[in-house]
Amino acid sequence: MFTKILIANRGEIACRVIASARKMGIKTVAVYSDADKEARHVQLADEAVHIGAAPSRESYLLADKIIAACKATGAQAVHPGYGFLSENEAFAKRVEEEGIVFIGPKHYSIAAMGDKIASKKLAGQAGVNCIPGHNAAIGTAEQAVGIAQGIGYPVMIKASAGGGGKGLRVAFNDKEAFEGFTSCSNEARNSFGDDRVFIEKFVEEPRHIEIQVLGDAHGNVIYLNERECSIQRRHQKVIEEAPSPFITEATRKAMGEQAVLLAKAVSYQSAGTVEFVVGKDQSFYFLEMNTRLQVEHPVTECITGLDLVELMIRVAAGEPLPVAQKDVQRNGWAIECRINAEDPFRNFLPSTGRLVRFQPPAQTMQQGDTQALYGVRVDTGVQDGGEIPMYYDSMIAKLIVHGKDRKEAIGKMREALNGFVIRGISSNIPFQAALLAHPKFVAGDFNTGFIAENYGKGFAAEDVPHADPDFLIALAAFVRRKSRERAAGLSGQLPGYGVQVGKDYCVIVLQADGKHRYSPVHVDEFIGESGSALVKTGVGSYKICSTSRLNDVRITGTVNGLAFTAQIERGSAKNPLALRVQHNGTQIDALVVSPRMAELHRLMPHKMPPDMSRYVLSPMPGLLVDVAVQPGQKVQAGERVAVIEAMKMENVLFAAADGVVGKVLASKGESLTVDQAIVEFV
């Protein structure tokens, strides 16, 4: 067994590998860029080596620097994590040639599965179901149309070297096939330097279901059940679960056995994933094989009780698999939500910056610990006060829950999301809460088009309807009453001028347009019951009990006998005196005042926000990589004005109307904040 390994990655996956290595008594070496010198993975590792500038092409993608770091620290093996160099055949081969062990499959296995066209042919030869299609590179758009007609619409046009949703189009007719071929070729050439394109049948109402496989150097290969990954936005997974609520036992067995056949065909040694597209009739077809650890591996760890990172390390060290197929378990139900630094209310634009507050929910499951299950686990590479850099992907954390069944797992996940405190940047937690509450998700009735069908026009606050909106009002009144009680108990108050607690209040739910909601409430304290009160609103009464402190952002307790977790903080963008209440993805800003104050508040004129239509504003924090206009220039509506880059995404800003540029307020290379003015029109 190794005594020291280097992790050629960053963020949560680097921390995940460190956890298993530490459990096994193996020392770890982290590598880091300029942007990550204070990062959590650097602090957790036994040693850390600086490998370059912030952009990944100048640090985490430099094989020479990583190999040099191995030699300098005496690391005997490299774990590549996922992303970066994890599926780079040349890197795996080079590491082996340098006498260092690559904790992953052999380079020839990576090569065999890395080319989409070659892997399809190999899968077919191994006896794996493949989608009807034309797997040779296609020369012209006209040829593409002819092939599409032969297969039968709809068809999917894909770049051979594609990934991450790039170089992919669905065509339902000849015109779309012609245009899709041209677009895919261009995108693939620009993104991957390889313009080969192939065409296959598009499976309607498809599910994305993948099989986890594990092989060793002794010819043993097993499958560890499946993961359901159909909840995707723009081909990026959002929620993953294991097992799938859709497939039958017979389909599971058939998919697993075919995945093993493919892994054996390429002499696969390590953890890997065979991805399938599954039709509504349970027909399944090979999609691709990921020759690395997957982001969503924790859900498999929960239901099988196996530590996949530990098994990868043991296999790389030459040990045989400690489990046979008959020993693989499937216990309970696990769900993972990817918590990303993005603003769901601004079309999921990246959100970078400092984590002013980062308090994940209480963990009862730990990475690498396969004994303590049926709880909550958080895999993250950040910490309170840390920075979310603009140079890497947007994932802040992975929230994983394990329940006895799917219903219990969904309930645990909703409560865990309620208790996940992130401040300073925006996150997709409200969107995750909406997905988990959607009746079709709860029923297990969804496919890969679920998000596009239900949130095709974007995501808005109205898309998170609360099952009991008056509970949020009651909670605001409860917290305000508690603060009044505390103020009344302070000593030294002048007789006759002391704070009066009172029982009648009005909760004013603030709206951006000034059409505020006024809700009278009555609050009675329970005699002898500390931290409890009965709050009566217009439509219901709520017995709330909580021992959380007034300065806690996260408040826990019971309401009418049922447990709840919510978030409450003082001050909001709408009003510094308001309480911001969040629960189940819904957020309100509320003033809790006396009835007389509410009467006066109704008379206050609404102050309209300033007119910013003359400005081009940055929709997200990021790097201004280009300003395409200059003062005095005439600009037409739809014309390119500026380009902002953040988290591997480029966002082009266009003029909303015709005009003349007055001032350019930001310069190329500047780091921008949200809503910072870039250009002013006259």
Tell me, what CATH number does 161's domain have? 3.30.1490.20
The CB density around residue 271, as the number of other CB atoms within 10 Å, is: 26
Do 266 and 332 belong together in one domain?
yes
111 assigned to some structural domain: no
Mean pLDDT of the region 327-350: 94
**Residue length, the chain?**
682
Say what the pLDDT of residue 163 is. 61
Sequence-separated (6 or more) residues with CB below 8 Å from residue 427 = 339, 340, 341, 342, 351, 396
Does 420 score more than 90 pLDDT?
yes
Catalytic residue status for 187: no
Do 237 and 156 belong together in one domain?
no
Cα separation, 416 vs 375, in Å, equals 10
Sequence-separated (6 or more) residues with CB below 8 Å from residue 327 = none
Mean pLDDT of the region 363-367: 94
The parent domain of residue 551 ranges over 469-487+502-603
**3-state SS, one letter per residue, for 313-373:** HHHHCCCCCCCCHHHCCCCCEEEEEEEECEEHHHCCEECCEECCEEECCCCCCCCCCCCCC
Say what the pLDDT of residue 252 is. 97
Which residues are bridge partners to 616 per DSSP? 679
**pLDDT over 70 for what percent of the chain?**
99
- From the candidates 12, 176, 200, 288, give the one annotated as an active-site residue: 288
pLDDT category of residue 528 using cuts at 50, 70 and 90: low
508 assigned to some structural domain: yes
Q: 28 or 166: whose pLDDT is higher?
A: 28
Residue 65: Cβ-neighbour burial (10 angstroms; 0-12, 13-18, 19+): middle
Give the tens place of pLDDT for each residue, 441-456: 999 999 999 999 999 8
Q: Are 30 and 44 in contact (CB under 8 A)?
A: yes
493 assigned to some structural domain: no
Structure tokens at 318: 């030459």
122 assigned to some structural domain: no
Cα separation, 233 vs 430, in Å, equals 15
Say what the pLDDT of residue 607 is. 84
Say what the pLDDT of residue 574 is. 73
Q: Are 105 and 114 in contact (CB under 8 A)?
A: no
For the sheet with 133-134, list strands across it: 133-134, 197-201, 155-163, 166-171
Q: What is the DSSP string of 40-100?
A: HHHHHSSEEEEEE-SSGGGTTT-HHHHHHHHHHHT--EEE--SSTTTT-HHHHHHHHHTT-
496 assigned to some structural domain: no
Work out the mean pLDDT of the chain and round it to a whole number.
Answer: 92
Cα separation, 667 vs 114, in Å, equals 41
Say what the pLDDT of residue 406 is. 98
Q: 575 or 630: whose pLDDT is higher?
A: 630
Cα separation, 556 vs 416, in Å, equals 11
Using alpha carbons only, give the angle 450, 454, 457 rounded to the nearest 5 degrees: 125
Asked whether the CA dihedral 181, 182, 184, 185 is positive or negative, the reply is: positive
Structure tokens at 395: 């994932």
**pLDDT over 90 for what percent of the chain?**
72
Do 566 and 518 belong together in one domain?
yes
Do 79 and 218 belong together in one domain?
no
Alpha helices of 420-514 — where are they, by DSSP H? 429-437, 439-443, 450-454, 469-488
Local structure of 635: helix, strand or coil: strand
DSSP state, residue 304? H
Highest mean pLDDT among 63-77, 341-355, 540-554, 636-650: 63-77
Sequence-separated (6 or more) residues with CB below 8 Å from residue 175 = none
Cα separation, 167 vs 144, in Å, equals 15
Sequence-separated (6 or more) residues with CB below 8 Å from residue 569 = 553, 579, 580
Say what the pLDDT of residue 265 is. 96
Residue 166: Cβ-neighbour burial (10 angstroms; 0-12, 13-18, 19+): middle
Does 531 score more than 90 pLDDT?
no
483 assigned to some structural domain: yes
Q: Out of 140, 170, 201, pick the residue that ends a domain.
A: 201
Which residues are bridge partners to 31 per DSSP? 49
Q: Out of 103, 119, 147, pick the residue that ends a domain.
A: 103
Tell me, what CATH number does 519's domain have? 3.30.700.30
Say what the pLDDT of residue 538 is. 85
Do 442 and 345 belong together in one domain?
yes
Do 475 and 593 belong together in one domain?
yes
| Number of domains, the chain | 5
Which run of H or E residues covers position 209? Answer: strand 207-215
Give the tens place of pLDDT for each residue, 224-275: 999 999 999 988 899 999 999 999 999 999 999 999 999 999 999 999 999 9
Tell me, what CATH number does 87's domain have? 3.40.50.20
Tell me, what CATH number does 446's domain have? 3.30.470.20
Q: Out of 146, 180, 201, pick the residue that ends a domain.
A: 201
User: Rg of the Cα trace of the chain?
Assistant: 28
Do 97 and 228 belong together in one domain?
no
Structure tokens at 143: 């040829």
Do 233 and 307 belong together in one domain?
yes
pLDDT category of residue 515 using cuts at 50, 70 and 90: very high
Does 492 score more than 70 pLDDT?
yes
Cα separation, 185 vs 158, in Å, equals 9
Do 355 and 414 belong together in one domain?
yes
Give the tens place of pLDDT for each residue, 152-208: 888 989 887 766 566 788 999 999 999 999 888 888 887 677 888 889 888 888 999
Say what the pLDDT of residue 590 is. 96
Tell me, what CATH number does 671's domain have? 2.40.50.100
Say what the pLDDT of residue 276 is. 96
Do 356 and 215 belong together in one domain?
yes
DSSP state, residue 130? B
Do 233 and 369 belong together in one domain?
yes
Q: Is the pTM above the cut of 0.85? A: yes
Instruction: Give the Å distances, CA to CA, from 60 to 78, 218, 309, 334, 585.
Output: 13, 32, 20, 31, 35
Cα separation, 7 vs 555, in Å, equals 38
Say what the pLDDT of residue 527 is. 64
Q: Between 429-437 and 406-418, two packed helices, what is the crossing angle to 10 degrees?
A: 150
The CB density around residue 93, as the number of other CB atoms within 10 Å, is: 16
Cα separation, 463 vs 286, in Å, equals 35
Do 302 and 442 belong together in one domain?
yes
Give the tens place of pLDDT for each residue, 82-94: 989 999 999 999 9
Q: Between 116-125 and 107-114, two packed helices, what is the crossing angle to 10 degrees?
A: 100
Q: Are 39 and 381 in contact (CB under 8 A)?
A: yes
- CA neighbor of 105 nearest in space, from 298, 290, 301, 323: 290
